[in-house]
Structure 1
């Protein structure tokens, strides 16, 4: 098993990674991962304390690493950012108050992808220079 990195839990990157994870049935095949992800989602919905969220995120990260996903929860390989995109690109961003860092390409004629954390569609916008 790979040791969990020292990550400042919880943060917006973790919420974005959770959103991507919840939207991927392939990554949720393992019962331990699915249960840990659902526990974090429930805590986010209930406005849990930072300590509770940190413990839940750490449990999810550990579950992912134990199921041979050495990436863990938070890293660039899970697809929570869009590197190398131009500033005029239309993107879908988090619709919730947390404003996680998940960014998806938004096509003009297609609806924005769903947000697994908030249960609604992501909101469309333009990727800014700070994006």
Structure 2
């Protein structure tokens, strides 16, 4: 059994992961997981304190792991599917009129790499999950 996640107070990632969990009927087949998830939802709706939410998130994380979900509650693979949230990365793309398919990761503080074909620097842009 893997260790439970450490939930800082007012963890917004846990709330987003709970939203995804509640929207996935397959993940709620276990009665203990379903009960803990509904309890966490009710606490969020009622404006419960951070300590109470953290304890509830821990209980839900434990229930998920006991049910065989090694991700627990907060995990990138679960929270990456939250509707309305996209994880973009900055990339360098071809700057020329005849665009090639060269794409390289672009660092924020470094200039874009040079394009050998066009003789200029590549241009930076954000690349979303659907691209």
TM-score, normalised relative to structure 1:
0.60
Contact 2:5 2:58 survives alignment (8 Å):
no
Q: Is the 8 A contact 2:62 2:72 kept in 1?
A: yes
Task: Give the Å deviation of 1:84.
Answer: 4.0
Match of 2:22 in 1: 22
TM-superposed deviation, 1:3: 1.2
1:82 and 2:86 aligned = yes
Deviations 1:44-72 (A, max 9, x none): 11111111111101100110011110100
Q: How do 1:18-57 residues align onto structure 2 when only pairs under 5 Å count?
A: 18-57=18-57
Is 1:9–1:57's contact at 8 Å kept on the other side of the alignment? no
- Distance in 2, matches of 1:53 and 1:7, equals 9
Aligned to 1:8: 8
Q: Which residue of 1 aligns with 2:98?
A: none
CA contact (8 A) 2:7 2:57 kept: no
| Whole-angstrom CA distance in 2 between matches of 1:7 and 1:48 | 15
Q: Which has the higher helix share?
A: 2
Count of residue pairs the alignment pairs up: 88
Mapped to 2, the partners of 1:76 and 1:25 lie a distance apart of 19
Q: Which has the larger radius of gyration?
A: 2
TM-score (norm 2): 0.60
The secondary structure found in structure 2 opposite 1:20 is helix
